[in-house]
Amino acid sequence: MRYHTPIACSFAALLLLAQFGCLGPSNSARLMSSQSQTELATDLTTRVYSGIDRNTADFYLTNLPPEAARPGTDPLTLTGTLIHVHLFLQPLAGRTPLGSDGCNVTVRQLVLSGGEAGIYAGGAFMTPRDAVGSQTSGGRFTHATLQLLARTKNFNDLLGPSEMSAEFNAARNEPAAQAWADLLTRSIALTKKP
């Protein structure tokens, strides 16, 4: 998890564009402040998903160590981020609007740092990769609009309203996805609306 200032952002943005180009999935995400151009960039080292039906899936993407998802882990002892992407509509060519204001995923990003937690949330249009139910699935989205939804008392919001871009592949693993979902639920229980 890295925060960048505007000068570092331009170089990071160029690298991200190169990764989103012809190099395939970058398995990374970035959350860029709409106000200050502060950026939270994340390498997604763990990526799992659970498929509910052909239109619906829950992706859990994180840079937290695997042991963070163990039952009973106190989220406030961790440093890192967990992103939950909920796909609720698989787009169909010629039948699904693809405009910039379209939405087929909700996104929540949990940021854990210094014994504090913040939850950013919003939505986006994701172009899926591989069918839900496949051994691997994933996708790409840009310009997801997120804002701070809840936080612990002393969480310092360095971003404000933000936009997220991400590209990822995830392995289908129902038990691991449930473990990350449980960690997210425990973290949300510790927060309040700002």
* Tens-place pLDDT, residues 59-110: 999 999 999 999 999 999 999 999 999 998 776 555 555 555 677 899 999 9
Alpha helices in the chain (DSSP H): 6-20, 174-189
pTM above 0.85, yes or no: no
Q: Residue 101 in contact with residue 82, Cβ under 8 Å?
A: no
Model pLDDT, residue 20: 31
pLDDT reading at 13 higher than 60: no
CA neighbours closer than 13 Å in the CB half-sphere of residue 147: 5
Percentage of the chain lying above the pLDDT 70 cut: 81
pLDDT band at 7 (very low <50, low <70, confident <90, very high): very low
Pick from 9-18, 65-74, 137-146, 166-175: least confident: 9-18
Residue 96 is classified by DSSP as: S
Mean of pLDDT values over 174-188: 97
Each residue of 18-50: pLDDT tens digit? 333 333 457 999 898 998 889 999 899 999 999
Model pLDDT, residue 126: 87
Model pLDDT, residue 136: 93
Task: Name the most confidently modeled range: 14-28, 29-43, 128-142, 147-161.
Answer: 147-161
pLDDT band at 168 (very low <50, low <70, confident <90, very high): very high
Beta strands (DSSP E) in the chain are 2-4, 28-33, 39-43, 46-53, 56-62, 80-87, 105-113, 116-124, 127-129, 136-151, 162-172
pLDDT band at 14 (very low <50, low <70, confident <90, very high): very low
